Structure 1
Amino acid sequence: MAIRVGDHLAASLTGLRHEPIARRVRAWSGDRLLLDSTHALLVWEPGRVVPQYAVPVDDVRTHLTPDPGFSGRRHGPGAVPVGPGGAEVLTPATGFGVHSCAGAVLTLSTGGAEPLRGAAFRPEDPDLAGYVVVDFDAPDRWAEEDEDVVGHPRDPYHRVDARRSSRHVVVRDGDRVLADSRRPTLVFETTLPVRYYLPREDVVAELHASDTVSTCAYKGRAAYLSSATRADVAWTYPAPLPDAAQLTDLVAFFDERLDVEVDGVVAQRRTTPWSDA
């Protein structure tokens, strides 16, 4: 019997996974180089949908010390249903300190500034012997080769495909039309819902910028927009990463919170982490 790839991916989420990468990986705290490796791995702890960098201990340029009394940095929810087939996963919002496999919590010194408590983790796994996983949010800056990495390490099996379309997309908030476009750009992103990015000229509602921003490792920094009745109802990428240049200044709406009609058919609202409370 044929296996649906999404189901196969969902089944693999329960395991500790790793993938070698050929890129040089570096991290800094201020001007202090913390690590420099050409033998890095991407590591997904069980349940994690986003990887972290792991490097050989010998490639860490500062001190690592055991910190068994530190429970780890947790600043968000636990598992949420966003994985393939609705699987519950741990997202970056959960925080690095929620570990789902056996291992040792470590503190990473910074050479003068406050040490980064719990910023490293040594999994108890023979395939990862000699490696430490480092919290992406702990250093101030990461780079692959000479280009900065934002948000989190990129998953080599995660795709973001933008396709121009002539489909008719209408976005409504109740009886009020917010946007009406026959020239959307559809974004298909692995494990995530399809998003409809519309030209600003096709947005008929008055939107104003909010203070909310977010960072996507694949698209860049998003700025959020609010309507007269809803906060952060849409977002845009004023200066996306080069791979997402096609999305510059287009506007996408949260179809979890609004009615999105595509070619006359209103899409069923889904429950995701971005739904209204």
Structure 2
Amino acid sequence: MQSDRAMPGPAGLSAVFVESWAAMLADAPGEPPVRLGACAADADIPAGLRRRLGPLARMGVACGLGIAPEGDADIVFCSRYGDLSLAHQLLAALVATEPMSPAGFSMSVHNAVPGVLDLARKARIGHTAIAAGAQTFSAGLAEAWLRLGERPHLRLVLVFADLPLPDIYRQFADEDAGGAAFALRLSAEPGEARAVSITRSAAGDASPAALENPPAELLVRRLVDSLCSDAPALSWRSQGSLWRLGKSSDEAA
């Protein structure tokens, strides 16, 4: 459920800091996705797990594994649609009275990606899976913010993954931004190597250049563009807050 009401923030948390990031962008059908940041290679995913992964899960796991190869960070996973192509295949098999693939069913659930990522990292910390329509990424960021505020000693990995809707559902798409997976390793503690931070303020605060409730797929691509630049800066309003990605030195000033 989406809400424009401002969320009460934990006392003392003025920013979260980006320790590392990874992204995979799929722009052209049939072409391999572009890997950016600290994205892991397919070979880094254990073979027994890799064989189970479809395109969406492979992208999400590669991004998450690249920035958190060890099980020392909790996971917040967000996806607007999940693996809807796989879910549609299972529904078509059901309608045709054909047997459904058990492996396909296990990978079609919404939290399949963080589950596989935990297995690959040999982690037993746990994870949270979020879907919130067009504001899915910002809702995941809000969850990460609140959890770091309550337990600032933790590290947290925020993973987003979505692919374009299958043709049968394309009428429900806001826009076709292509497929994308994106992961941020976040900390509540500043450090010399953490040059980028995310801040949150009241949605009504002045920022004429802020994006207004951008769809998750578009927002993720804009965030990746900003992180690839020498001077990352991006503001957007969503989930009752004004968010800003920028240099940590700007926040300190």
Q: Under a length normalisation based on structure 2, what TM-score does the superposition of the two structures give? A: 0.29
Q: Under a length normalisation based on structure 1, what TM-score does the superposition of the two structures give? A: 0.27
Choose between structure 1 and 2 for higher RCO, CA contacts under 8 A separated by at least 6 residues.
2
Q: Which has the higher strand share?
A: 1
